[in-house]
Amino acid sequence: MKRYIFLILFSVLVVTNSIAQIKNGKPPFNSVSFVTASDNVELYVKTSGNGPVCIYVHGGPGAWSKSFEDMKGNRLERKLRMVYYDQRGCGRSAVSADTNYSLDRMVEDIEDIRRSLGVEKIYLLSHSFGGILAVSYAQKYANHLHGLILVNSTLNLDYSLEQQIKHINQLLDTNFTVQNTDSLMSVFGAARAALSEKEIDFKMLSDRKKTVELLDSIDNSYKRSTDFVQHLWDFPEYKKDFTRLTKSIEVPVLVITGKKDYAIGVDHYKAFHFPKQEVVSINGGHVLYYERSKEFTKAVFYFIKKQSEGRKIKRLGDGSTNSFRGL
């Protein structure tokens, strides 16, 4: 399955500057529509719930928003107006005719969606690879953010792949070794093949096989576009270390990390140094939004409540974090 390649791995309104158009007008609180991005690629968008607007940025690379929505992510709709979108070349969205899947273009897609919704500020909630898109959006459009919520998110693909190899070695008692950056993908492929042979692929995402079987059943329920992931490595910017950006992003940030998230790396969050960040560490894996839904939802709602009440997150001059358990 393509997700396992990375594991780390969601009438016409014309906006005044022609940035985006939405079919059948600005979407109501509960709707499914397609936003036409500023380069004419149609993006699948579903909105549901009431409260501040929160755009969900799925992972993969090349996944979609439906699995998060259906696996208890929609519980956030009690206090948020959730916006589930599929990235271009993913899920139910159209492919890019000129194969423009650059990071800048992906960021503009999020901005096009924000403009089409007619709101000045939003929350971004990312999962896995989606963290790279969310942080890149925050770097460019911080003035349009209430805050960032990074859930099991990577900001360094190479690091997360190396952590997956490390965990495979522990599971299989093997010694797959990355000698240099050029050998990373070939070593990773060999390690993944060895894990598949033992039929324990699910352990990269969860200790519970049934969780991954449910995830797979949702992913296999629709003939999804996979064009983005097929062109991912045409754009070397995705291989950068985005943790270096974190010190310069001044918006409030909630980092939700899993103590058993071997797809991202259990210590990856320690490289995040957002000036206004909080870290919630939950005893779960890469799909903790489903398996530890109560703790996950409570952490998000508590963060949102603090922002709406204007309560400040203490600025941390040394780049450290406030760490507390699942609330």
Strand partners, 325: 281
Q: How far is CA 286 from CA 35, 110, 137, 164, 189, in A?
A: 29, 24, 23, 12, 20
pTM: 0.87
pLDDT above 70 covers what percent of the chain?
86
Structural domain includes residue 202: no
The per-residue b/e assignment along 269-280, b for 16 or more CB within 10 angstroms, e otherwise, is bebbbbbbbbbb
Secondary structure (H, E, C), 75-114:
HHHHCCEEEEECCCCCECCCCCCCCCCCHHHHHHHHHHHH
Tell me whether residue 166 is in a domain: no
* Tokens (6 digits) for 261: 């998230």
Supply the CATH number for residue 253's domain. Answer: 3.40.50.1820
DSSP symbols for 274-310: -TTEEEEEES--TTHHHHTHHHHHHHHHHHHHHHHTT
Residue 81 and residue 51 in contact, taking contact as beta carbons nearer than 8 Å: yes
Whether 228 is in a domain gets the answer yes
pLDDT at 11 over 70: no
Q: Which two tokens stand for residue 215?
A: 């995830």
Mean pLDDT of the chain: 88
Residue 302 lies inside a defined structural domain of this protein? yes
Domain contains 310? yes
Do the domain assignments include residue 205? Answer: no
The domain tally of the chain equals: 1
Contact 284, 261 (CB under 8 A): yes
pLDDT tens readout for residues 103-126? 999 999 999 999 999 999 999 999
Residues 31-84 have pLDDT tens digits of 888 999 999 999 999 999 999 999 999 999 999 999 999 999 999 999 999 999
Residue 13: per-residue pLDDT: 28
CA dihedral for 127, 130, 132, 138, sign (positive or negative): negative
Residue 180 has a pLDDT of 87
pLDDT, tens only, 259-291:
999 999 999 999 999 999 999 999 999 999 999
Within a domain: 181: no
How far is it, in rounded angstroms, from Cα 63 to Cα 73? 15
Nearest to 107 by CA among 69, 145, 70, 71: 145
Q: Report yes or no on 64 lying in a domain.
A: yes
User: Residues with Cβ < 8 Å from 242, sequence gap 6 or more?
Assistant: 131, 132, 135, 136, 155, 156
Question: What domain range is 277 assigned to?
Answer: 2-160+218-325
